[in-house]
Amino acid sequence: MSESAGTSESASGLSARVVVTPSNGEAETSGYEVRIRPGLLEELPAALRERAPAARYAVISDSTVAELYGNRVLDTLRRAGLNAELLVFPAGEAHKNRESWMDLSDRLLASRHGRDTTVLALGGGVTGDLAGFVAATYMRGLPLVQLPTTVLAMIDSSVGGKTGVDTPGGKNLIGAFLQPRFVLADTGTLRTLAPAEVRAGLAEAVKHGAIADGGYFRWISESVEPLLALDPSATVRLIGRSVEIKAAVVGADERENGLRKTLNFGHTVGHAIEARSAFSLLHGEAIAIGMVVEADLGEALGITEPGTTARIRELLERLGLPVTVPAGFTAAEVIELTRADKKARAGNVEYALLERIGTSSPGDGKFGIAVRDEDVAAALGRCRG
């Protein structure tokens, strides 16, 4: 672990804390906390007074999470004497768009929110991205607090400061970097997730192990049953280690000029497959397929250690995730969709490939490797269902 990430855990294993220090030093200069424990939403008022004091708070949530936790959070804030409002948008990746951003911004204006407002993003990755982009752009920037309620958001999207919306051209093509003041990952909220959402979130944890920590990858493989059952201790350990890995990367390269590209393993193909499915595949499901394809691609190019693809595929299958390109998804369609990805440079699509489990492969020291279309097409063919 680098100096950019520090962690502590309770003796019971039911809580963890990670400090994230972005490389540009903008997050309160001393970094921000990611707290991980059941019941943390009840401690939100005290955390806000300490880390993000404001005259007003705008809680942004999607329609599904708002029904589960929106009023609970509002009541908690108001009982503590804090002025809070709940803004709800329709659930689903299809609503992480410019129209929702505009609607939420207009509603903030109509309620006369000023620069003394702090935005609270309550929900999964879609909410964190969208609410974060609202915070980054409203009146040139408001403080942001992330309150993730899914495995995926807790271990990945709530940490690192990426915000944005999707367009017809691709995912997250319009956005901004905005680090949160802090993150509260209340693991008690995971109990309301559908099993498919839990599995999809675990795909990103597999990615973290694959790119940075072979021991963590092995631990996930040994802990499949408790992780799928959301065992409290195993869940906190998983989230804490994944956040440590991401915090170390963000601490070294916030703006994705080098090391942060390693976090894109599985995502170049995965995002294309997700888009081709019209988002009928969950993000983690598409990334699982993308990791298998990109590991196979790396092996075929002589970059990735032989046998790596089989190990990744086997673990993903045990987690109940898809590992083959869906029937009807042609290589030409998927490759064309990769061209809209943010990782394209000078017309070339870059891939974050592995050297072996636990170690990413730097492409000329830049971690992004340009690959020929015919090599990608061949990998897609080998990984077809």
Residue tagged active-site, from 260, 311, 313, 342: 260
283 is catalytic: yes
In this structure, the strands spanning 162-167 and 170-177 are: antiparallel
DSSP 305: P
271 is catalytic: yes
Residue tagged active-site, from 33, 93, 254, 256: 256
* Contact (Cβ atoms closer than 8 angstroms) between residue 212 and residue 263: no
Residue tagged active-site, from 96, 162, 276, 343: 162
208 is catalytic: no
Q: Which helix (H) or strand (E) holds 56?
A: strand 56-62
Distance CA 230, CA 78 (A): 31
CA separation, residue 30 to residues 22, 25, 47, 150, 251 (Å): 9, 7, 16, 27, 11
207 is catalytic: no
Distance CA 357, CA 105 (A): 43
Residue tagged active-site, from 37, 208, 237, 267: 267
DSSP string of 148-170, one letter each residue:
E-SHHIIIIITSS-EEEEEETTE
140 is catalytic: yes
Distance CA 324, CA 314 (A): 12
Distance CA 357, CA 42 (A): 39
98 is catalytic: no
Distance CA 239, CA 158 (A): 11
Q: Which helix (H) or strand (E) holds 209?
A: helix 195-212
Residue tagged active-site, from 33, 237, 261, 264: 264
Q: Which residues are catalytic?
A: 140, 162, 204, 246, 256, 260, 264, 267, 271, 283
